[in-house]
Amino acid sequence: MQKKINRKTIFEIMNNKEQYVAAIDIGTTKIVAIVGRKNENGKIEILGLSKAPSKGVKRGVVQNIEETVNAIQTTVEDVQKRSGVMFSEVFVGIAGQHIKSLKTRGYIMRDSFEDEIKKEEVFRLIEDMYKIHVDIGEEIIHVIPQIFIIDNETGIKSPIGICGRRLEANFHIVIGQVAAAKNIEKCINRADLTLKDLILEPLASADAVLTDDEKEAGVVLVDIGGGTTDIAVYYDNIIRHTAVIPFGGNVITKDIKEGCAILDRHAEQLKIQYGSALGDIAPEDKVVSIPGISGRNPKEISFRSLAYIIQSRMEEIIDIVSFEIQNSGYADKLAAGMVITGGGAMLKHLPQLMKFKTAMDVRIGYPNEHLAGSGRNEINQPMYATSVGLIIRGFEHLETYRKSFKAGRKEEFVRTRKPVVEKETGAEMPQNAPDEQEVTMTEETMAEERVSLTDKIKNMLSKMFEVEDQRIN
C-alpha cells in the first residue's frame, strides 16, 4: 500500500524543521519544476526535477494560459512523484523584455544620534522603496540596496550597529509589467499552487554559478535562454546593473530554419549537434543531410554555412551585451570577466567568440558549487542554472522568515505587491512619476502602518522643536 503524503506549506515545513523548497522556472523553451533540501553541510540536494516543453511562453512572457498551466501541472506531478514531497508553495522566476531597472536613493530620519541603527530600520528603508511611483501598468519586483550613507558618510555596506541621524542608501530597483507578473501568478494558481515569490531570473542564475570572489572582483553574468538573454553585472559584491535582451537561442534556430529552408525541429537539431559559433574554423568539406519535406529529396547543408548563420546572430547578441556592459558604468572594473550560462552557453566555440568580441575572459557557468547528492551530475548543467538559483533564493527567503518569526516580527517581512507612496518617507522619486497605485494590503495592516508612522513623525517633530526652543532660550 502506497504511503499517503500530505501537502505541505513552507510554514508547516518550517515548524517541522524540514528544509524543502520547490521552484518553477517558466522559460520560453521549457518549464522546469524542481524541489530540493539542505543537508547538514548547507549544500542543496535536488530531490526531484522534471521538465516539459513550453508552448505557451514567448520571450519569457506567458501568452497562452492553458498551455502553460498544463505544462506546469505535468512537471509538478512528475517531480512530486519522483521526490516523494508534496508541496503547495513555489518560487518562480520572471524575465522577459518588459523587465527594466533604475537607480534611485532613499532615506529615513532617525529620532536620535546616539541610538544604534537596527535591522528594523534598514528593513523599513528598503520597504519604503517599494512605495515609489512607477509607470502605470508596472510594479517593483526587487529592491536591492547597494551602498548605505549615514550622516553623509558614504561607502557603508552594513549600517547595523552604527550611530547616526540620517540613514540613506543607493538602490537598484527592478521593475516589470503587472500583467506579466499576474499572468504568471494566474498560471501557478490554476495549477493548484501558491506563488511564494517572484524572482528575477538573472539574479537566481548569478546565485547558482558565480563565486564570491568573482562578485567582488567584478563580473558580468550572461544567461542565454531560449527567448531572452539575461544580464547581471556585479562589482564589490554588489549588483550594479541588470538587463533582459529579447533574443536567445530560438532566434538562432529561426535563422537556421529560414536560411536553410528546413523545418523547425530539424533546425534545432542542427544547432545542437553540429552548430558552431565560429564559421572560419568549421570544416568546409563536411555536410549533414536533412530529410526532405513530405517525401522530397533530402537537403545537404555545409557545416561552415551553418556556422556562419549562427555566428552572425550571436555577434548581434554579443553587441547588445557589450552595450549593456558599457551602460552599467563598470566596463573597466570587471576583473573576473564574463560568465555565460543557460542552454545557449553549450553552443560550440561560443566562449571563444565572446572573448574575441569583448576582449574579456569568458567561462561557462555550472551550478556545481551549491549542489550535493547523487543527482548532482544530472543537474549540473548550464540550462538548469536558473532552476538551482531559484532553490537557493527560496532558502534565503525561508531563512529570513524564520528569523523574523522567532523574533515575533512576522509582518516586517510580508511585502506588498504594489504599495502606495507615503509622503512622510524620504524616498527620492523617479522623474515623470504617474498617479499613486492602490495598495494590496489588509485594512488593519494599513491602519497600523499609518498610526505607527504618524506617531513616529510626531515624536520626531516634537523633539526637534524642543531642541530648537532650548537653543532660543
Does 56 score more than 80 pLDDT?
yes
Write down the pTM of the prediction. 0.78
Percent of the chain past pLDDT 70, that is, above it, reads 80
Number of domains the chain is built from: 3
Q: How far apart are CA 220 and CA 355, in angstroms?
A: 13
Rg value, the chain, Cα:
25
Q: 35 lies in a domain?
A: no
Does 190 score more than 90 pLDDT?
yes
Does one domain contain both 230 and 351?
yes
Q: 381 lies in a domain?
A: no
Does one domain contain both 238 and 291?
yes
Does 18 score more than 80 pLDDT?
no
Q: What is the dihedral of CA 8, 13, 19, 24, to 10 degrees?
A: 40
pLDDT, mean of residues 416-440? 37
Region of 304 (left: φ > 0; alpha: ψ -120 to 50; beta: rest) is: alpha
CATH number at residue 300: 3.30.420.40
Does one domain contain both 171 and 230?
no
pLDDT at 309: 95
Does one domain contain both 422 and 458?
no
Does 416 score more than 60 pLDDT?
no
Instruction: Identify the domain boundary among 304, 333, 368.
Output: 368
Q: At 7, which amino acid appears?
A: R
C-alpha to C-alpha distances, 376 to 43, 107, 171, 210, 259, nearest whole angstrom? 11, 44, 36, 17, 38
Percent of the chain past pLDDT 90, that is, above it, reads 55
Q: pLDDT tens digits for 85-124? A: 999 999 999 888 888 888 999 999 988 888 899 988 998 9
Does one domain contain both 351 and 455?
no
| Range ranked top by mean pLDDT from 95-99, 186-190, 284-288 | 186-190
pLDDT at 375: 62
pLDDT, mean of residues 151-170? 91
C-alpha cell at 317: 547578441
C-alpha to C-alpha distances, 87 to 4, 103, 184, nearest whole angstrom? 13, 37, 18
Q: 26 lies in a domain?
A: no
Q: 400 lies in a domain?
A: no
pLDDT at 311: 96
Q: How far apart are CA 112 and CA 163, in angstroms?
A: 8
C-alpha to C-alpha distances, 308 to 189, 198, 271, 314, 352, nearest whole angstrom? 44, 38, 12, 10, 15
pLDDT, mean of residues 224-235? 93
Does one domain contain both 152 and 227?
no
Lowest mean pLDDT among 378-382, 423-427, 462-466: 423-427
Q: 388 lies in a domain?
A: no
pLDDT range class, residue 19, cuts 50, 70, 90: confident
Instruction: Identify the domain boundary among 302, 335, 368.
Output: 368
Residue 388 or 5, more confident = 388
Does one domain contain both 172 and 231?
no
Domain hosting 155: range is 100-176+417-445
Q: What is the dihedral of CA 153, 155, 157, 161, to 10 degrees?
A: -20
pLDDT at 398: 80
Q: pLDDT tens digits for 430-464? A: 433 333 333 333 334 444 444 444 454 445 445 54
Is 67 exposed, middle or buried, given 0-12, 13-18 or 19+ CB atoms closer than 10 A? middle
pLDDT range class, residue 405, cuts 50, 70, 90: very low
Residue 373 or 240, more confident = 240
Q: How far apart are CA 135 and CA 434, in angstroms?
A: 6
pLDDT range class, residue 57, cuts 50, 70, 90: confident
Closest CA to 366 of 209, 222, 213: 209
pLDDT range class, residue 152, cuts 50, 70, 90: confident
CATH number at residue 131: 3.30.1490.110
Q: 203 lies in a domain?
A: no
User: Which residues are within 8 A (CB) of 56 and not within 5 positions of it... i.e. 6 or more apart?
Assistant: 62, 63, 64, 65, 66, 67, 68, 71
Q: 45 lies in a domain?
A: no
- Cβ atoms of 199 and 91 within 8 Å: the answer is yes
Residue 370 or 204, more confident = 204
Does 251 score more than 60 pLDDT?
yes
* DSSP H or E stretch at residue 166: strand 166-177
Please provide the distance, in angstroms rounded to a whole number, between the alpha carbons at the two ends of the chain: 86
Does one domain contain both 346 and 295?
yes
Apex 219 CA angle, 228 and 399, nearest 5? 80
Does 58 score more than 50 pLDDT?
yes
- Cβ atoms of 130 and 140 within 8 Å: the answer is yes
Three-state SS at 55:
coil
Does one domain contain both 232 and 342?
yes
pLDDT at 115: 86
Does one domain contain both 303 and 345?
yes
Does one domain contain both 221 and 241?
yes
Does 4 score more than 60 pLDDT?
no
pLDDT range class, residue 424, cuts 50, 70, 90: very low
- Cβ atoms of 233 and 322 within 8 Å: the answer is no
Does one domain contain both 125 and 151?
yes
C-alpha to C-alpha distances, 2 to 5, 148, 328, nearest whole angstrom? 9, 55, 55
Q: Alpha-carbon torsion 321, 323, 324, 328, what sign?
A: positive
Q: 309 lies in a domain?
A: yes
Q: What is the mean pLDDT of the chain?
A: 82
Strand pairing class (100-109; 166-177): antiparallel
